[in-house]
Structure 1
Amino acid sequence: MTDEYKTFALGDVPLLSGEVLRDAKLAYKTYGELSETRDNVVVLPTFYTGTHARNEGFFGSGRAIDPARHFIICPNLFGNGLSSSPSNTPSPQDGPRFPLVQMWDNIACQYRLLHDHLGIERIALVAGWSMAGCQAYQWAAQYPDMVQAILPFCASAKTSPHNFVFLEGVKAALCADSAWNGGDYATPPVAGLKAFGRVYAGWAFSQTFYREGLFQQLGFDTPEALLQDWEADHVEHWDANNLLAKLATWQAGDISAGPLYQGDFHKALGSIRARTILMPSVQDLYFPPADNEIEARYMPDAELCPYDSPWGHCAANPGNDAGFTAALDANIRKLLQ
């Protein structure tokens, strides 16, 4: 089920930066069937260390998003190894030479997939965790007439300065490995990838998570055991240049970037017509509720529904916090009713 996906050929894509991504490809997977009225479309973009396969934990039979009732589209973020990425793009845009692809660029290409290729005029809901939630905001600001509802969870419409600095930390840990070699590595920078995972683990969960020993619920006897697992996961599953390409997209996140709003963030928020529920995790260390509180003030139809979880940012990871999952489904049902 998870291994099969389709690829949409985009050709040469002009980017917001002025560069051109050559022979770009957008990987995606769909679930369910498009209704005769074509009004049951749910878009679930992918998050930072995820592909469409990881999104399968956010929907299912009897869930608020159900393939029996909805046509679910999961477009893969540029840089995640399936869509055009440093690891699969030929010279001269391979590796560290891969251009900056911003949220605007991702959503413009996703729009081409949905509108031009799949013939979709209306989206019932765009939802997602973390970077996927950032794309939900972007969809609603970039194509306000097309998107009826959004539910970003553990996300923001603009990457905050503190979030930017957090990302600089994990990036510095990776690039400190001498094998990194400016991105032109002959073999993977294993020490750097391990350091990346180890630093990230301190941010993904809350202080309460570690204080109360909740890592034991994941099968780890000690924090060190969890850290070693995060090290191994990044070494086994992620290309270093891909991680940094997506990190650059994340750091540049801002729904007002681009020709529509020209940096006017409040105007961009005010232009969102979609019914919106913002669902931060109260103990999230890099997407705190305060950012969403500010955003909601400028959005015409936004409801703020914070959820307090000791799992921090990872409250949203399927299987971690049953209460978060139940609250998420309840909020999605409100938007889709």
Structure 2
Amino acid sequence: MDYKIFQLGDVTLQSGEILPNAFLAYQTYGTLNEDKNNVIVYPTAFGDQHYQNEWLIGPDMALDPNKYFIIVPNLLGNGLSSSPSNTPAPFDRSRFPKITIFDNISFQYRLITEKFGIEKIALVTGWSLGALQTFQWAASYPDMVERIAPFCGTAKTWPHTYVFLEGVKAPLVSNAEWANGEYTLQPKTAMRSIGRVYAGWGFSQAFYRKELYRELGYNSLENFLTDFWEKNFLNIDANNLLAMLWTGQHGDISANHLYNGDFEKALQSIRAKAVIMPGTTDLYFPPEDSQYETEQIPNAVFRPIESIWGHLAGRGIHEVDTKFIDDQLRNLLKLT
């Protein structure tokens, strides 16, 4: 097993429900120094596991494991941390409780403090739903987080993104194969359909017009739809997918007892030096939403990723975009 498990025990969720024997899967890169001041937290995105974060980590990158201790916690519901697919009855499958972003960060905080005794985090960064977790870290623990760099993601799920995710969910929950979450075999037809729904949103119109999928090794649009998009979702358990979708749809850094739904107050509470990096053609998280959020954060700068690779400009599959993100992280980490 190329990751570690932090046992959380019986946890009381934000909903008030108790999830027994909960656990957080995580991986670390690099070594924690004696002063414990070289810590970077890099949460996973929707549908991802820690492996999918490794493109941004390396000796030639800003997230250099020879210099920093990088912790990648796995989102609950992703199949490695507590999820519908690995939780015993009566909380298995469709009965898995609703997990919020606030819950996830509370558990990550326990990992950081109880397991490692860390009091300061040099940087929190993340893509997509990992970006939302990044914002939540800074809002939940403003005295602990020194810098944040969320990319291709917002501090809450705005209504248009919520609606998009409803469209993602529909092919699954309306399919007889799903059997209300009690399937014996994965509902592959529905998951393929979800891949095709996502395909129209993940990249920009210009990306498709210019047939840039050919740069990724796909020789036709149909080949790209089947071998990139469909295959991606066939590897995710359907109940896990729905659990993560719920978490994503209800993301809001102010939806907790700290801020009682006051979104501006939550943003204004962030003390970390912040670089906000939306994708200029991101159809999930348009840059206008990020610009508004940036204006509310006291020490934030707006650094959009000028790219026609849409949301996946932040996925590590386009060298120019990857270099831009890495450069921004490098500059941010130099700030004192």
Task: Provide the C-alpha distance between the structure 1 equivalents of 2:105 and 2:176, rounded to a whole number of angstroms.
Answer: 35
> After the TM superposition, which residues 142-161 of structure 1 pair with which residues of structure 2 at under 5 Å, given as runs?
142-161=140-159
List runs of 5+ in structure 1 lacking aligned partners: none
Task: Provide the C-alpha distance between the structure 2 equivalents of 1:311 and 1:330, rounded to a whole number of angstroms.
Answer: 18
Instruction: Return the letter of the residue paired with 1:188.
Output: Q
> After the TM superposition, which residues 1-337 of structure 1 pair with which residues of structure 2 at under 5 Å, given as runs?
4-229=2-227, 230-235=229-234, 237-318=235-316, 320-337=317-334
TM-score (norm 1): 0.97
Instruction: Return the letter of the residue paired with 2:331.
Output: K
Task: Provide the C-alpha distance between the structure 2 equivalents of 1:329 and 1:214, rounded to a whole number of angstroms.
Answer: 22
Task: Provide the C-alpha distance between the structure 2 equivalents of 1:53 and 1:135, rounded to a whole number of angstroms.
Answer: 18
List runs of 5+ in structure 2 lacking aligned partners: none
TM-score (norm 2): 0.98
Instruction: Return the letter of the residue paired with 2:125.
Output: A
54-63 vs 147-156, greater mean Cα deviation: 54-63
Task: Provide the C-alpha distance between the structure 2 equivalents of 1:4 and 1:175, rounded to a whole number of angstroms.
Answer: 33
Q: Deviations over 1:17-43 (max 9, x none)?
A: 111111101000111011111110000
**Stretches of 4+ aligned residues off by more than 4 angstroms:** none
Task: Provide the C-alpha distance between the structure 1 equivalents of 2:138 and 2:111, rounded to a whole number of angstroms.
Answer: 16
Task: Provide the C-alpha distance between the structure 2 equivalents of 1:233 and 1:249, rounded to a whole number of angstroms.
Answer: 19
Instruction: Return the letter of the residue paired with 1:199.
Output: V
Name the Cα RMSD after superposition.
0.9
CA displacement at 1:176 relative to structure 2: 2.2
CA displacement at 1:107 relative to structure 2: 0.2
Task: Provide the C-alpha distance between the structure 2 equivalents of 1:103 and 1:232, rounded to a whole number of angstroms.
Answer: 27
Q: How many residues align?
A: 333
Tell me, what secondary structure is at the counterpart of 2:91? Answer: coil
